[in-house]
Chains A and B, each alone.
Chain A
Amino acid sequence: MTDVFITGVGKCLPGEPVSNDEIGSIIGKISDRSDSLGTATLRKNGIKKRYYALTASGNYTHTNAQMAAEAIHDAFAHAKRSPDNADYLATSTTQGDYLVPGFASAVHGELGIPPLELASFQSVCASSLMAAKSAWLAVRTHEARLAVASGSEFSSRWFQPGFYQPFYNEDSRPDPELEFLRWTLSDGAGAVVFEPEPKATGISLRVDWIKQKSFADRFPPCMYAGAATNKAAKNQPWNLYNSPAEAYQAGAIALKQDFTLLYKMFPAWVGYYLELLDNYQLDPNGIDYFLPHYSAQSLGQEMKKLLIKTGAMIPEERWFSNLVHCGNTGTASIFIMLDELVKAKPLTAGQKILCFVPESGRGICSFMHLSVFDNN
């Protein structure tokens, strides 16, 4: 098996950055009370700017597939490769533009490049590293020579008041399960290019390993859409109602997050992280950049204490994240972070980068370990 390098990184953040007090003009208003819950959520998630593919007038600037295609073009430009030579495309998204067919086909269509092999990954945040792993393995096993993986989200369309009514409207008690996501997630795409050789000049990132584990054997859905609740007795899938309209009326279409369950997933994620530290004999102090799809602030004092006493805490000054000014873009986030890290930070040969993507969807935890290569 051959070494594999990330030779290009790219992103697409649609439109202009949207500040906290402008969010309502894009995602719409449900009620004053839901707006106040939104303000509280923003204080908690710490996000200051984000981007939306929806406009204040109700139009859209991109589809999900168009954002992915733009990010992929950007990544190929950075790799100084023609996308026409790509032979493997892995896409990831929480929800494509169409229900059918697969999202990778839509992205391929948008890219306007010749026929190539595809893989469509659909999960939540962790689908990013599923796509990355498949592209990495394709190159590593000589199945492909120029592969690309993308992550893209068009979350804002889920947050329009019309997606919730009639079961959630101005008369409803504001529901944290719904409002948390409305005020946290936004739109965007990121992409990375994989090749069997580092770039002729400049920085490349060797992919040392990508590992992932699912805990769906022990957790029910936590961030979900397609059922009115995640409780076993009433979790009938939306397409088993008599009609889509009936499913919508029952609240089976809205995107929700179960908080109680979310906090129960933390120990499983931390346990997996500790397991990997041991398996790979990693020294947390040897990591130069830690890219978490998660903020240190939300980690909580208890978790931090636990990481310190198990000798597993990566010093906070090495945490790198751009969630604050790019927003939480789900599966796109980790690629958008890598894009900024590579383009804005003075990386030097030998530095180690650890990417961490937990997924609350149904409890997935994934990591990617990279080493900096410099052919200057």
Chain B
Amino acid sequence: MTNSDSQLISTQQVLRQLTIVWADFESRLLQVPIIYRAMNNQLQLEDYRRLLADHYHQVKEGSGWICRAASSITEPYLEQRAVFIGHATTEHQDYKMLERCYQTVGGDINELHKQGKNIGSEALSAWMYYKASQANPFDLIGAMFIIEGLGKQFARTFAEALQHNMGISAEQLEFYTYHAEHDGDHLDELEAILSTGILTIPDIQNEIIRTAKVTARLYLLQLEELGNY
């Protein structure tokens, strides 16, 4: 077996394990009250506003922890570090989009700025920064697989349900529809890193999967704890 063959197999194995974690996560997501109610036409506009508000910190911090992760990456992985930096730049302005959505659904921007994290977001944020501070934290690819995957796989269904059930306008849904359209490309870039030799780092494959699992659980917690500060 050549090096590139075994690299391909390792990449496929990691993606396979990540997809298994994803599948469990996505179907558990459907049971979280806010999502369940959205899908079953039981949501009011104020619930959607609450969701945006509670999502805000995670979105604002996204490029923050990716930058910190980039700063924890050392030689010989500087090329991969560039992908992290690029990714952080792409995500950097996302919070502004969310702010616009929040205002179009009648939210007060000053209130949003004052709003603290819910207890689930607090846990998720602490976990992401903790991980990003470790040396060469490529296991965060597992976390990104979950978070970007949400955008790619789930944001569209969710936005469609809100539009269909509550008549929420395209403008009010911009944040979610934008992610539905673009997160697939981000995910492809992240997956490409898996084939650049990082999988030879000892135990990294298991760590990627574990980080994906923990991130998935904490993401659910963030949604379960809407309004609990």
Residues of A within 8 A of B (CB): 215, 217-219, 231-233, 260, 263-264, 267-268, 270-272, 274-275, 277-278, 306, 309-312, 363
**Chain A: CB-nearest residue to B21:** A271
Verify B16–A277 contact, CB threshold 8 A. Answer: yes
In the complex, how many residues of chain B place their beta carbon closer than 8 angstroms to a beta carbon of chain A? 25
Given A260-B157, A264-B157, A274 and B19 contact (CB-CB distance below 8 Å): yes
Stretch of B27-35, B121-129, B197-205, B217-225 lying at the A interface: B27-35
- Bound: A277/B24 CA distance, A: 16
> Which of A260, A267, A277, A278 has a CB less than 8 Å from the CB of B153?
A267
Verify A271–B20 contact, CB threshold 8 A. Answer: yes
Verify B19–A271 contact, CB threshold 8 A. Answer: yes
Residues of B within 8 A of A (CB): 8-9, 12-13, 15-17, 19-20, 22-24, 26-28, 30-31, 39-42, 153, 157, 161, 191
Verify B40–A268 contact, CB threshold 8 A. Answer: no
Verify B40–A270 contact, CB threshold 8 A. Answer: no
Given A275-B20, A310-B19, A215 and B27 contact (CB-CB distance below 8 Å): yes
> Which of B15, B23, B153, B191 has a CB less than 8 Å from the CB of A268?
B23
- Bound: A310/B8 CA distance, A: 10
Verify A310–B26 contact, CB threshold 8 A. Answer: no
Verify A267–B16 contact, CB threshold 8 A. Answer: no
> Which of A260, A264, A310 has a CB less than 8 Å from the CB of B16?
A310
Q: Which secondary structure dominates where chain B touches chain A?
A: helix
Verify A310–B12 contact, CB threshold 8 A. Answer: yes
> Which of A263, A274, A309 has a CB less than 8 Å from the CB of B20?
A274
Verify A264–B15 contact, CB threshold 8 A. Answer: no
Task: For A310, list chain B residues within 8 Å (CB).
Answer: 12, 15-16, 19
Verify A218–B31 contact, CB threshold 8 A. Answer: yes
> Which of B8, B27, B41 has a CB less than 8 Å from the CB of A267?
B27
Distance of A287 from chain B, by nearest CB (Å) = 16
Distance of B27 from chain A, by nearest CB (Å) = 4
**Chain A: CB-nearest residue to B27:** A218
Question: What 6 A-B pairs have minimum CB-CB distances, sorted nearest first?
Answer: A271-B23, A311-B12, A310-B16, A218-B27, A267-B23, A310-B15
- Bound: A309/B40 CA distance, A: 33
Distance of A229 from chain B, by nearest CB (Å) = 10
> Which of B13, B23, B161 has a CB less than 8 Å from the CB of A311?
B13
9 interchain pairs (CB within 8 A)?
A218-B28, A260-B157, A267-B19, A267-B153, A271-B22, A271-B23, A271-B24, A278-B16, A311-B15
